[in-house]
């Protein structure tokens, strides 16, 4: 169904969608190119602050050359009224004769209806070209729109023997500059970054995005701190420009510390807790209400255990440095009580593995992942039973 030319132009659209990462949230990152007689006459990608969707920007650039042209779009065009009119209407009125779409929109308000309206108007619609690449770009959005909670992304930089530190003051910073740069690319695509108070006490991090690509939405810094031990003088309060700080604590946390931390600029949110820690489902529900599409969990060791043991991780990146730490005092990448039996431990599948400088990255998914790209899911339906937005190539 798809030609080499189709693949070439869809790659161009995917590259534009990647430009929207860090700029489109809480909307999905989408790219579009308009092609007439083998030449690109319009291109666009979505930036939330500029409102216009990728298709509209591409059509405006193409102008009258849109007539009898082909549109390559990384995600099904919207067919409902949101902050802007439906993109489907613009495509129909532009005179486009063919629309090639990578993936079906996981939003239940769209989910195939846009494609049907295009086809009903006489436009040829082909769907499924490079759908997996397109799904990776909207992975956080797809999870949030289906579940109301963020895609939970674990990330740990560790040694070959699975350690994140020696246990001594100079035993941190295991991964290379390239590995740390990869971590900032993950921060670019996330809306919030979460650590435990132990990390704040041990490292005094800023918890900011320091990459080179533009990021429009400030990275929300989230701290799990059941007793509100976060220091008043912590560096995260002094970063410029300021970014939101959410501290989740237990209901019994001292009121005086709450007031002082709020004066420093933090927002304190009380949730239920137990011997195993704070209610993480309540944390995720609150973040989902704030339209956090992707939550990057960076630890520390006990926090990773908390999320994994409660089966709340959707995707986990292990960045492995070619060193061995050893030692009884060294800190494991995942702490906590651990599993008593191998049969009780979660199973992961490695979707991709690749080098980053001298380090090596494993992109893994646990069996309970809610991601649309989970290798554990069947090819036709997602975890919620809805249509899985990685369609086989077909014409509508």
Catalytic residues: 55
**CA–CA gap between residue 18 and residue 152 (Å, rounded):** 20
Taking residue 360's Cβ as centre, other Cβ atoms within 10 Å add up to 16
Beta bridge partners, 274, equal: 277
Residue 66 gets which letter from DSSP?
A: G
Neighbours of 367 (CB within 10 A): 13
Q: What is the 3-state secondary structure (H, E, C) of 148-212?
A: CCCEEEEEEEECCCCEEECCCCCCCCCCCHHHHHHHHHHHHHCCEEEEEHHHHHHHCCCCCCCCC
Whether the CA torsion 135, 141, 145, 148 is positive or negative: it is positive
H helix count then E strand count, the chain = 11, 19
- List 31's β-bridge partners, or say none: 45
List 352's β-bridge partners, or say none: 363
**Taking the CB of residue 8, how many other CB atoms lie within 10 A of it?**
12
């Amino acid at each position: 169904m798809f030609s080499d030319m189709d693949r070439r132009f869809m790659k161009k659209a995917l590259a534009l969608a990647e430009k929207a990462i860090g700029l489109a949230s809480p909307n999905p990152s989408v790219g579009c190119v308009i092609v007439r007689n083998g030449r690109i006459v319009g291109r666009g990608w979505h930036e939330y602050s500029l409102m216009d969707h990728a298709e509209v920007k591409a059509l405006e650039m193409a102008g009258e050359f849109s007539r009898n042209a082909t549109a390559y779009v990384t995600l099904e065009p919207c067919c409902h009224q949101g902050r802007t009119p439906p993109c489907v209407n613009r495509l129909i009125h532009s005179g486009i004769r063919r629309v090639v779409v990578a993936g079906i929109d996981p939003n239940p308000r769209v989910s195939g209806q846009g494609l049907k309206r295009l086809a009903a108007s006489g436009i040829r619609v082909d769907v499924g070209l490079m759908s997996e690449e397109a799904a990776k770009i909207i992975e956080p959005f797809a999870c949030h729109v289906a579940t109301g909670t963020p895609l939970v992304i674990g990330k740990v930089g560790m040694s070959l023997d699975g350690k994140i530190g020696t246990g001594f003051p100079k035993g941190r910073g295991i991964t290379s500059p390239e590995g740390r740069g990869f971590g900032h690319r993950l921060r670019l695509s996330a809306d919030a970054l979460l650590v435990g108070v132990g990390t704040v006490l041990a490292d005094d991090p800023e918890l900011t995005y320091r990459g080179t690509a533009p990021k429009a939405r400030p990275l929300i810094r989230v701290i799990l701190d059941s007793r509100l031990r976060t220091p008043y003088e912590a560096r995260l309060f002094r970063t410029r420009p300021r970014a939101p700080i959410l501290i989740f604590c237990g209901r019994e946390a001292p009121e005086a510390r709450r007031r002082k931390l709020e004066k420093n600029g933090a927002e304190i949110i009380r949730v239920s807790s137990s011997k195993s820690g704070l209610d993480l489902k309540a944390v995720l529900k609150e973040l989902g209400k704030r339209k956090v599409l992707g939550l990057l969990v960076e630890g520390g060791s006990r926090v990773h255990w908390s999320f994994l043991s409660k089966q709340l991780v959707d995707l986990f990146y292990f960045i492995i440095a070619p060193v061995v730490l050893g030692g009884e005092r060294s800190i494991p990448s995942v702490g906590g009580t651990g599993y008593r039996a191998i049969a009780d431990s979660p199973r992961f599948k490695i979707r991709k593995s690749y080098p980053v400088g001298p380090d090596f990255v494993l992109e893994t998914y646990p069996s309970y992942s809610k991601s649309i790209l989970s290798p554990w899911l069947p090819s036709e339906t997602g975890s919620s039973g809805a249509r899985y937005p990685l369609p086989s190539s077909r014409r509508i």
